[in-house]
Amino acid sequence: MALEAYVIHLLILVGIYIILAISLNLAMGFTGLLNIGHVAFYGIGAYTSALLALNLGVPFWLGLLVGGLIAALFGLLLAIPTLKLKGDYFAIATLGFAVIIENIFRNWISLTGGPLGLPGIPKPSLFGFTFSGFSYLILVAFFVFLTYIIIKHITDAPFGRVLKAIREDELATSSLGKNIVKYKTQSLGISAFFAGIAGSLYAHYITFIDPSSFTILESILIISMIIVGGLASMKGAVAGAIILVLLPEPLRFLPLPSFAIGALRQMIYAALLVILLIKRPQGIFGEFSLKKES
């Protein structure tokens, strides 16, 4: 029974990270936006939905939607000052954005509870049925499926082909009369929306959130997932999320203090990222790799 609960827990986490990886892949893999701040949208979704439920008694379903929308709004806001920036400057600006948001979670104590976080977030319920354990897994699986279908549809549509064209050659695409900034903004907004949904799913599953779940380390983890799977690959993002969530799990069974397990996890992720970047930057299923802009 305990084993079953553990497996369900892992699968729920895998599902949440699949949504995060697929959504980041839309911005980073398909559009070429080197976003290191994806975790901020995840956190905004989680905090929005948790605060709505705790302070106003808003049901999960509405909170989830609003969480996604507020995250998307921040995505659009972030796009305004940053989209004109080149590669690594954009990356650093998004990193800065994530640090600012995390600082707000940590310091706006009257709203977010600061470092102590927000406990007692209610589990979702529908007609008197409360989702937890296996039924929560089904719920997450449903949203994973929805996210996958929608983003797959977006990237296969003409809209998605324009995004890829922007990634490959911005100048050429704009000379074809496409409004680059508009497309990039929309891509970042949609990407942020789904990260917000993932945040809400996380908050109502764990029922407790604090700023430590939304540090820049999480962003690097999500980026690693899509690099492992391969940029701009739907299958890759899913595979990457599964591999990276499960990979450090055996550590849990080592007789080590929790800080040491955390440290080893961090080292494994970091080493995997660096080795992949050197040996196989296109990942498992990747269709392109980040080569030098000439």
Partner 1 sequence: MENLLQSVNFLFFLFLLIAMVATQLFINGIIAGAIYALMASSFSLIYNIVKFMDLSPGALFVVSAFSAYVFNVLFGLNFFLSLILALIIVSVVTIGINKFVYKPLRNKNANNFILLLASFGVFLFITGFILLIFGAEVKTFGLPIIKGYEIFGAIITKTQIILIVTSLVLFLFLQLFMKTTRLGKAMRALADDRQVASALGIKVEKTIAVTFIISALLAGIAGILVALEQNLEHAMGFSVVLKGLTASIVGGIGNVPAALVGGFLIGIIENIGIWFLPSGYKDAIAFVILILFLLFRPRGLFGTKTREEVSG
User: Which residues 6+ apart lie within 8 Å of 12 measured at CB?
Assistant: 136, 137, 140, 205
Q: How far apart are CA 166 and CA 176, in angstroms?
A: 11
Query: Do 46 and 205 meet the contact criterion of CB atoms below 8 Å apart?
Result: no
Which one, 1 or 292, has the nearer CB to partner 1? 292
**Of the candidate residues 95, 162, 198, 234, the single one contacting partner 1 (CB under 8 A):** 95
Which one, 58 or 251, has the nearer CB to partner 1? 251
Q: How far apart are CA 58 and CA 69, in angstroms?
A: 15
- Applying CB under 8 A, the span of 97-105, 156-164, 184-192, 198-206 interacting with partner 1 comes to 97-105
Min dist CB 281 to partner 1, Å, is 6
Task: Show the site string, 102-121: x = touches partner 1 by CB under 8 A, - = not.
Answer: -xx-xx--------------
Residue 181 sits in the site that holds partner 1 (CB under 8 A)? no
**Of the candidate residues 54, 69, 73, 92, the single one contacting partner 1 (CB under 8 A):** 92
Which one, 96 or 122, has the nearer CB to partner 1? 96
What spatial distance separates the first Cα and last Cα of the chain, rounded to whole Å? 57
**Of the candidate residues 5, 7, 138, 274, the single one contacting partner 1 (CB under 8 A):** 274
Residue 76 sits in the site that holds partner 1 (CB under 8 A)? no
Give CA 277 to chain center in angstroms.
Answer: 20
Q: How far apart are CA 107 and CA 104, in angstroms?
A: 5
Helix (H) or strand (E) holding 36: none
# residues near partner 1 by CB under 8 A: 49
- Burial class of residue 252 in the structure, from the number of CB atoms within 10 Å of its CB (0-12 exposed, 13-18 middle, 19+ buried): exposed
User: Which residues 6+ apart lie within 8 Å of 282 measured at CB?
Assistant: 230, 231, 288, 289
Residue 92 sits at the vertex; the CA angle it makes with 96 and 152, to the nearest 5 degrees, is 95
Q: How far apart are CA 102 and CA 100, in angstroms?
A: 5
Q: How far apart are CA 171 and CA 178, in angstroms?
A: 10
Residue 222 sits in the site that holds partner 1 (CB under 8 A)? no
Min dist CB 3 to partner 1, Å, is 28
DSSP secondary structure of 226-275 = HHHH-TT-HHHHHHHHHHHHHTTGGGGGSS--HHHHHHHHHHHHHHHHHH
**Of the candidate residues 2, 86, 110, 176, the single one contacting partner 1 (CB under 8 A):** 86
Query: Scanning residues 118 to 177, which ones bind partner 1 (CB under 8 A)?
Result: 170
Residue 260 sits in the site that holds partner 1 (CB under 8 A)? yes
Which one, 102 or 136, has the nearer CB to partner 1? 102
Residue 244 sits in the site that holds partner 1 (CB under 8 A)? no
Which one, 80 or 246, has the nearer CB to partner 1? 80
**Of the candidate residues 133, 264, 284, 287, the single one contacting partner 1 (CB under 8 A):** 264
Residue 89 sits in the site that holds partner 1 (CB under 8 A)? yes
Min dist CB 221 to partner 1, Å, is 10
Contacting residues toward partner 1, per CB under 8 A: 34, 36, 81-82, 84-89, 91-93, 95-97, 99-100, 103-104, 106-107, 170, 216-217, 220, 223, 227, 257, 259-260, 262-267, 269-271, 273-274, 277-278, 281, 290-293
